[in-house]
Amino acid sequence: MIKIGTFLQLEQINEDRKTYKCRVIETKKDKLYIDYPIEEQTKRSDMIPVGTHFQVHFIENNSVYSFPSEIIGKAKIKNIPTLILSVEINNLEKIQRREFVRTESLLDVSVQSADQKFDSFTTVTHDISGGGIAILVDKNFKVKQGELLDIMLVLPLEKRIEYLHIIGEAVRIQERNEDKNILSVKFNEMDIQDQQSIVQYCFTRQLEDRRKGLS
């Protein structure tokens, strides 16, 4: 199930709960050969000893999966230094469908009506997932359910910023006792790689928030 080239997120099982990113170089039965993991906070590769335990997370076929693992050795694959992760398929757990991996985040976004029914405006998101976003709108803003929206989303990733063009559908406006209401938008048309970028962003943020909550 886990393919060569799959990106993994390793969450260390100890008090520090450091998280790392790596990629699968080779697979053999109950073993994964990975490139040397990069610690997400320092952006550097750590010396990880054999015997270190991790909770491993990855995205595959519209779902997020997790399993416990351990560094059981080192090897070279085509002259690439790798670490060997243990993997037992029976311990593989589906966490959540990726479109529901949602996180609160303030991201810049521009919105215009696909049918020119209102003037374009810029705002920020309230939260985001692989299936849609919620954005802050003025109290007097009105839009019909099902109306198509032309969206440009600014997504900050690890080493770059991506500008994602998305066609969304207005779902509902949530009125609040604050300066802004919240408009929920479901994604209708978007590039699959853009969706994957959003999913990875959300999942990384969730792991960071969980680690901070446990620290």
- Give the CATH number of domain 103-214: 2.40.10.220
pLDDT in tens, 123-157: 999 999 888 999 999 999 999 999 999 999 999 98
**pLDDT, position 9:** 85
Instruction: Name the most confidently modeled range: 56-60, 164-168, 201-205.
Output: 164-168
Alpha carbon distance 36, 149 (integer Å): 42
| CATH 2.40.10.220 residue spans of the chain | 103-214
CATH class for the region spanning 7-97: mainly beta
Who's near 148: CB < 8 A, 6+ residues apart?
A: 113, 114, 115, 167, 168, 169, 170, 188
Q: Beta strands 93-97 and 108-113: pairing type? A: unpaired
pTM, two decimals, is 0.61
Whose tokens are 């003037």? That residue is 119
pLDDT digits (tens, 9 = 90+) for 79-138: 889 999 999 878 888 765 544 567 899 999 999 998 888 999 999 999 998 889 999 999
